[in-house]
Amino acid sequence: MIDAFIFDHVRTPRGKGRPDGGLHSVPPIELAAQTLNAIKSRSDLDTSTIDDVILGIVTPVGEQGCNMARPALLMADYDESVPGMQIDRACSSGLDAVNLGAAQIMSGQAGMIISGGVESMSRVPMGSQGGAWARDPAVISKTYFAPQGIGADLIATRSGFSRSDVDSYALESQRRAHNAWENDYFSKSMITVVDDLGLPLCSKDEHMRPSATAGDLAALKPAFAAMGEQGGYNAIAQQKYPEVFAINHVHTAGNSSGIVDGASALLLGSAAQGKTAGLTPRARIRAFASVGSEPTIMLTGPAAAARKALKNAGMNAADIDLFELNEAFASVVLEFMRELNIPHDKINVNGGAIAMGHPLGATGGMLIGTVLDELERRGQHTALISLCVGIGMGVATIIERV
């Protein structure tokens, strides 16, 4: 098998996913084009050597619809011979784009691929693609549908994570993200998003609340209590988990991932193609895996995905230096740590989506690039990246520096 390497990674800052957010005035195709442009110029690429551009987009409708990857690369002045495709598995799509690109390289069917993702949640709201899962009565019933927040609260209830546990985790995410920004840990991969005239518009993650205190977090109202009760979802969760007396609604806007805009891209390739292009590989994609998990609790896939990826790699959890798990909700990370027995100082060491936000399709690419930067900064070698995924799935990727 041919090794797939990561040569470069860029990401935009994450703008607040609201009309007053720093990236709201930028169409998502521009976010994607600007990351593709940065990848091209940073490595001085001959784009005609790129075999595919794969972008995760979770809400691929409206201006994010109609395979935005292809027009985005044309907007970035890539050679017209470069194909593009958009993929969607929900939250892990950016990481899936990387895994899919790596698979093509590993199988010898492609030499160089750009993988990443984009999401302008302020312009194309989450859920606006609809879907049978949440709208068709037969499907809602059959799958024991409950919104993600109910699953997150159910995880906390079953594993005994208290409100204070999840809030403490959230506070630490804020502290770590702030510390990383203060010390320029992200600057290697961060691009400044420009406006229609080409002038700098946004260069820093906006969602962070470094001044938040434990008291501030504790004062926030549970986000999913009313929905769980009035929408019938608590009862549906109990139908799946009849040992649960009542769901403890611990998640709030403060310990859940933020809604933001952003884009990411990674340059992947074989050693041979990298050499031709004069590039130095930074890390090898050692293994990856995807799993389905129980869809009502929905968010417990990462542990199984991680185990499967570790098995594919012939590794143990102890062989991993750093873990990067999307902070969809605090309980998702706490559950992953509990399941795989991971100490807090090895996971999400520079904070995560609770502090900086989760731009759906873009997140997977951001996580893999961010942890690679951190491995290099620390002089460590291996990392496992994972995300929980809607409708009960998990995806994981293992990288190792070369």
Partner 1 sequence: MSSQFKTIQYQLNEQGIAILLMDIPGSNANVMGDAFRDELDLAVNLIASDDNIKGAVIGSVKNDFMAGGDLNAMVEMFANVTDPQAALDIANSIKPTLRKLECCSKPIVAAINGPAMGGGLELALACHGRVVSDSAKVIMGLPEVTLGLMPGAGGSQRLPRMIGIQKALEIMLQGRPFNAAKALELGIVDAIVAPEKLIEAACQQITDGLDPIKPWDKKGYTIPGGSGFFDADLGNLYNYLTSTICRDTQRNTPAPLALLTAVARGTAVPFDAGLHIESCYFAKLILDPTARNMVRTLFVSKGELDKLSRRPKGIDKASFQTIGVIGSGLMGGGIAQSAAKAGIDVVLLDISDEQASKGKDAIAKSFGKLIAKGRMQQEKADALLAKITPSADYSKLASCQLVVEAVFEDVALKQMVFKMAREHMPADAILASNTSSLPISQIGEGLPSPDRFLGLHFFSPVERMPLIEVIRGKFTSDKTLAEALDFVALLRKTPIIVNDSRGFFTSRVISAYLQEAFAMVAEGISPTLIDNIAKQAGFAIGPLALIDDIGLENGYKASLAEKQALGERWVEPAGFKVQKQFNELGRIGRRGGMGFYDYSEGVRAPSAAVAKLYPASASAVDAEQIKQRLLYVQALEAARCYEEGVITDAAEADVGVILGIGFPSYTGGVFSLIDTLNCGEFVAALDALTETVGERFRASDWLRSRAEVGIQFYA
Separation CA 321–CA 225 (nearest Å): 37
Q: Rounded to the nearest whole angstrom, what is the least distance from the CB of residue 92 to partner 1 in the complex?
A: 23
For residue 360, CA distances in Å to 25, 194, 275, 338, 341 come to 18, 21, 33, 25, 27
Catalytic, out of 9, 24, 91, 202: 91
Determine what percent of the chain falls in helix, strand and coil, rounding each to the nearest 5: 40, 20, 40
Is position 81 an interface residue for partner 1 (rule: CB under 8 A)?
Answer: no
Separation CA 76–CA 53 (nearest Å): 12
Separation CA 143–CA 164 (nearest Å): 31
Q: Is 358 a catalytic residue?
A: yes
Q: Report H helices in 208-277.
A: 214-219, 225-230, 233-240, 271-277
Residue with tokens 């260069």: 203
Q: Which CB atom, from 137 or from 215, has the smaller least distance to partner 1?
A: 137
Q: How many CB atoms lie within 10 A of CB 145?
A: 22
**Strand, coil or helix: 93:** helix
Is position 239 an interface residue for partner 1 (rule: CB under 8 A)?
Answer: yes
Stretch that binds partner 1, among 2-10, 81-89, 133-141, 208-216 (CB under 8 A): 133-141
333-392 positions binding partner 1, by CB under 8 A: none
Show the tokens assigned to 355.
């502090």
Separation CA 40–CA 35 (nearest Å): 9
Residue choice 1, 19, 137, 314 for contact with partner 1 (CB under 8 A): 137
Q: What is the torsional sign of CA 352, 356, 360, 365?
A: negative
Q: Which CB atom, from 238 or from 276, has the smaller least distance to partner 1?
A: 238
Residue choice 152, 236, 306, 371 for contact with partner 1 (CB under 8 A): 236
Residue choice 48, 107, 109, 128 for contact with partner 1 (CB under 8 A): 128
Catalytic, out of 9, 178, 251, 388: 388
Residue choice 5, 7, 144, 288 for contact with partner 1 (CB under 8 A): 144
Q: Is 91 a catalytic residue?
A: yes
Residue choice 198, 200, 215, 242 for contact with partner 1 (CB under 8 A): 242
Is position 135 an interface residue for partner 1 (rule: CB under 8 A)?
Answer: yes
Is position 294 an interface residue for partner 1 (rule: CB under 8 A)?
Answer: no
Is position 238 an interface residue for partner 1 (rule: CB under 8 A)?
Answer: yes
Binding residues for partner 1, how many (CB under 8 A)? 25
Residue choice 2, 103, 134, 315 for contact with partner 1 (CB under 8 A): 134
Is position 126 an interface residue for partner 1 (rule: CB under 8 A)?
Answer: no
Is position 311 an interface residue for partner 1 (rule: CB under 8 A)?
Answer: no
Q: Is 207 a catalytic residue?
A: no
Q: Which CB atom, from 240 or from 381, has the smaller least distance to partner 1?
A: 240
Residue choice 132, 218, 219, 318 for contact with partner 1 (CB under 8 A): 132
For residue 213, CA distances in Å to 166, 169, 262, 268, 284 come to 13, 12, 27, 40, 39
Query: What would the DSSP string read from start to end of 217-232?
Result: HHHSPPSSHHHHHHTS
* Buried residues in 181-216 as b, exposed as e (16+ CB within 10 A): beeebbebbbbebbeeeeeebbeebbbbbeebeeee
Residues 6+ apart with CB under 8 A from 279: 7, 8, 43, 267, 269
Is position 130 an interface residue for partner 1 (rule: CB under 8 A)?
Answer: yes
Q: How many CB atoms lie within 10 A of CB 99?
A: 27
Is position 244 an interface residue for partner 1 (rule: CB under 8 A)?
Answer: yes
Q: Which CB atom, from 236 or from 287, has the smaller least distance to partner 1?
A: 236
Stretch that binds partner 1, among 106-114, 124-132, 275-283, 293-301 (CB under 8 A): 124-132
Residue choice 81, 107, 141, 162 for contact with partner 1 (CB under 8 A): 141
Kindly write out the interface string for residues 206-235 of this chain, putting x where it contacts partner 1 by CB under 8 A and - elsewhere: -------------------------xxx-x
Catalytically active residues, by annotation: 91, 358, 388
Which residues bind to partner 1, rule: CB under 8 A? 127-128, 130, 132, 134-138, 140-141, 144-146, 231-233, 235-236, 238-239, 242-245
